[in-house]
Amino acid sequence: MEVAGFDSDGREFKNADEMWREHTGDDNKKNQWYRDGVGYWEGVEASVDGVLGGYGCVNDVDVKSSEAFLQTLFSELFVDGGIGRHLVALDCGSGIGRVTKNLLIRYFNEVDLLEPVSHFLDAARESLVHDNHMASDTHKATNFFCTPLQEFTPEAGRYDVIWVQWCIGHLTDDDFVSFFKRAKVGLKPGGFFVLKENTARSGFLLDKEDRSITRSDVYFQKLFSQCGLHLYKSKEQRGFPKELFVVKMYALTTDVPKKISKTRSKTQANKPGVIK
């Protein structure tokens, strides 16, 4: 990737390939990269403030913006807004189940969670299954996969939406592309991805502490092309503290989206009454 960038010590790399060669250029380095990344999060408290890097205050505005984006995608990409369908989602990098509990489980009949940090996933299971007295048979967390993104292959044709938030920065470019190519198989016909992630102003920034990379919008779009994905819609997150990275939401489809002609009901059955 011919984009220049920096690491968290201020060192400049003339392009991303130079940075990746240095940090993940052989199997030992690459394995260490992923061990260090998981190791960092294993030392973080399993709480909203912990998984949000001390910025638990952004939880509400994050969820509200994600919900508005998801509602728009439902109305535009699903016939009748998905009403009457058994909807299934995968929450990638789910952490303690924050996005599932506050958003996805209200719109999807089943949500699977994918998270490599075991004590986060244990907290998610406790919150969503054991402590959630409002849980129902029609909207529930179903599977809890303690597996890293780079090793996960979904069940073919299971998911309407695969939600990837604040975790893709831990993957190398090669594993980024490989993950999305495998994950595409997990989508139902007409299903789509939502990627919500920090973005750099240009190039990239490598965080040496947690072994993650913040990519620019241009960087992301080049990778999307390599994945064979089409950018359907993007939107910038508003309302976050100014010191944080700009966060963007991307809706990605496996085929060039076709406009759907439909008559929409005024009510939708699915309508509900440093960050990980």
Annotated binding-site residues read 93, 98, 149-150, 165
Residue that has been written with the tokens 């939708």 in this structure: 268
Distance, CA of 249 to CA of 196 (rounded, Å):
4
**DSSP assignment letter at 200:** B
Task: With CA atoms as reference, report the closest residue to 44 among 33, 58, 28, 55.
Answer: 55
Rg of the Cα trace of the chain? Answer: 18
Phi and psi at 57, nearest 5°, equal -65, -20
Burial, 263: exposed, middle or buried (Cβ in 10 Å; 0-12, 13-18, 19+)? exposed
Task: With CA atoms as reference, report the closest residue to 63 among 166, 200, 148, 140.
Answer: 166
Residue 228 in 3-state DSSP?
coil
User: Which residue ranges make up the annotated binding site for S-adenosyl-L-methionine?
Assistant: 93, 98, 149-150, 165
Distance, CA of 110 to CA of 141 (rounded, Å):
6
- What would the DSSP string read from start to end of 107-125? H-SEEEEE-S-HHHHHHHH
Distance, CA of 275 to CA of 230 (rounded, Å):
26
H-only helix segments in 185-235: 217-227
